[in-house]
């Protein structure tokens, strides 16, 4: 059973694109980052999680996607289907289509299930920022006390100036830097989908998420960024797929095993790859924070992979080669939720 878990942020949040790109935030929080964060926080609460196989194989999650009121948005699938808005300037409409990143759930279902190579959408249902296709335009419209109707964005970003102060032993001057942070509109935020193996792991994960919300996710948690609470949970969240073309659609970051990789028919697949790695910035030991993790590539959200065999994914240890007995494992999970389409 898949359920949707909504997160409501009580402070701004920054989702990193890399240590050198603080001035631009990501819009989504990837599934491997969320699962690693849950693991790191819950490890002190549940000793059985020291068995990493027990933890990582016991539930699957999607990446965190935006929601607005009661509408859930999913990534635009990488299917070879043309989006049409009817009559209009082809160049202008092509730019609109290219900018779209998310489809409301019912629009997503129509897009995936349609047997046609061209999908007709109402361009009036696209949000002003061009990123979302909604069920209808009421999702991003409000009426004030005087009866005036105006549009709004589900989120806004604001750049904050900060100063990096060198350590006492560092012979450097203070250096300003900028960090881009997300502010969500009321009744808007991000959610993720989860499928648990049993009720025990579900209860453990929910307890951990509550604690994770107090600690925060994303960048600069130590200064109060990324704090959230669970706004709502929708059990039996269903995505109605009626198509049967023998492909898998990724709702998170997917890392195939060698056997799965050999079974993917790439000539009939469409995908994007994301490099995952970075620094061990979250380590409890300061001497490890400058170390770079090993890097791997994962299939990104919305990737569509053709395979006649079951795709599940695997998790991988990205710990760098370092001769120190205190260094710990750095797990990245590529066993995200995959839709059979």
> Can you give the residue ranges of every domain in the chain?
2-340
pLDDT in tens, 190-215: 999 999 999 999 999 999 999 999 99
Of residues 173 and 300, which shows the higher confidence score? 300
* CA 237 to centroid of chain Cα atoms: 17
Question: What pLDDT was estimated at residue 2?
Answer: 96
Q: Residue 96's pLDDT band (boundaries 50, 70, 90)?
A: confident
Number of Cβ within a 10 Å radius of residue 114: 15
Question: What pLDDT was estimated at residue 200?
Answer: 97
Average pLDDT over residues 314-331: 75
For residue 229, the surrounding DSSP H or E stretch is strand 228-234
Question: What pLDDT was estimated at residue 313?
Answer: 98
**120-124, 220-224, 239-243: least confident range:** 220-224
Average pLDDT over residues 45-59: 96
State yes or no: pLDDT of 284 exceeds 70: no
Average pLDDT over residues 318-339: 80
**43-57, 99-113, 312-326: least confident range:** 312-326
Q: Residue 171's pLDDT band (boundaries 50, 70, 90)?
A: confident
Q: Cβ(31)–Cβ(336) under 8 Å?
A: yes
State yes or no: pLDDT of 324 exceeds 60: no
Convert 241-253 to b/e letters by CB count within 10 Å (16 or more is b). eeeeeebbbbbbb
Of residues 7 and 18, which shows the higher confidence score? 7
Mean predicted lDDT score pLDDT of the chain: 89
Question: What pLDDT was estimated at residue 279?
Answer: 66
325: burial class by Cβ within 10 Å (0-12, 13-18, 19+)?
exposed
Number of Cβ within a 10 Å radius of residue 161: 8
**87-91, 100-104, 195-199: least confident range:** 87-91
State yes or no: pLDDT of 290 exceeds 90: no
State yes or no: pLDDT of 308 exceeds 70: yes
Give the rounded percent of residues in the chain with a pLDDT score beyond 70.
90
Average pLDDT over residues 31-39: 96
**22-36, 102-116, 125-139: least confident range:** 22-36
Question: What pLDDT was estimated at residue 87?
Answer: 66
Number of Cβ within a 10 Å radius of residue 56: 21
Given CA atoms 31, 36, 41, 46 in this order, what sign does their dihedral have?
positive
Distance from C-alpha of 337 to C-alpha of 237, rounded to nearest angstrom: 13
Of residues 270 and 95, which shows the higher confidence score? 270
Average pLDDT over residues 90-105: 87
């Amino acid at each position: 059973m898949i359920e949707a878990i909504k997160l409501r942020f009580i402070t701004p949040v920054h989702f990193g694109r890399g240590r050198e790109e603080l001035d631009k935030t990501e819009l989504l929080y990837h599934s491997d980052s969320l699962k690693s964060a849950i693991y790191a926080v819950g490890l002190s609460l549940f000793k059985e999680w020291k068995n990493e196989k027990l933890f990582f194989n016991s539930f699957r999650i999607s990446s965190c996607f935006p929601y607005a009121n009661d509408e859930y948005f999913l990534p635009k699938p990488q299917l070879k289907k043309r989006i049409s808005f009817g009559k209009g300037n082809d160049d202008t409409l092509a730019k609109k289509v290219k900018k779209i990143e998310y489809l409301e759930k019912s629009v997503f279902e129509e897009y995936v299930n349609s047997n046609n190579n061209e999908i007709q959408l109402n361009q009036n249902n696209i949000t002003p920022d061009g990123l979302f296709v909604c069920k209808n335009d009421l999702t991003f419209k409000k009426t004030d006390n005087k009866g005036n109707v105006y549009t709004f964005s589900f989120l806004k970003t604001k750049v904050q100036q900060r100063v990096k102060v060198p350590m006492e032993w560092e012979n450097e001057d203070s250096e300003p830097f900028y960090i881009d942070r997300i502010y969500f509109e009321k009744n808007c935020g991000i959610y993720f989908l989860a499928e648990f193996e049993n009720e025990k792991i579900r209860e453990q994960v929910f307890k951990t998420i509550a604690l994770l919300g107090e600690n925060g996710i994303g960048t600069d948690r130590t200064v109060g960024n990324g704090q959230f609470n669970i706004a709502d949970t929708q059990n039996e969240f269903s995505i109605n797929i009626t198509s049967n073309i023998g492909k898998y659609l990724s709702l998170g970051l997917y890392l195939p095993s060698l056997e799965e990789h050999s079974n993917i028919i790439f000539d009939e697949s469409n995908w994007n790859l994301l490099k995952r790695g970075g620094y061990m910035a979250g380590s409890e030991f300061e001497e490890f924070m400058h170390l770079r993790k090993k890097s791997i590539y994962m299939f990104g959200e919305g990737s569509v992979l053709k395979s006649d065999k079951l795709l599940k994914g695997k998790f991988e240890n990205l710990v760098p080669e370092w001769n120190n007995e205190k260094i710990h494992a750095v797990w990245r999970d590529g066993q995200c939720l995959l839709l059979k389409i």
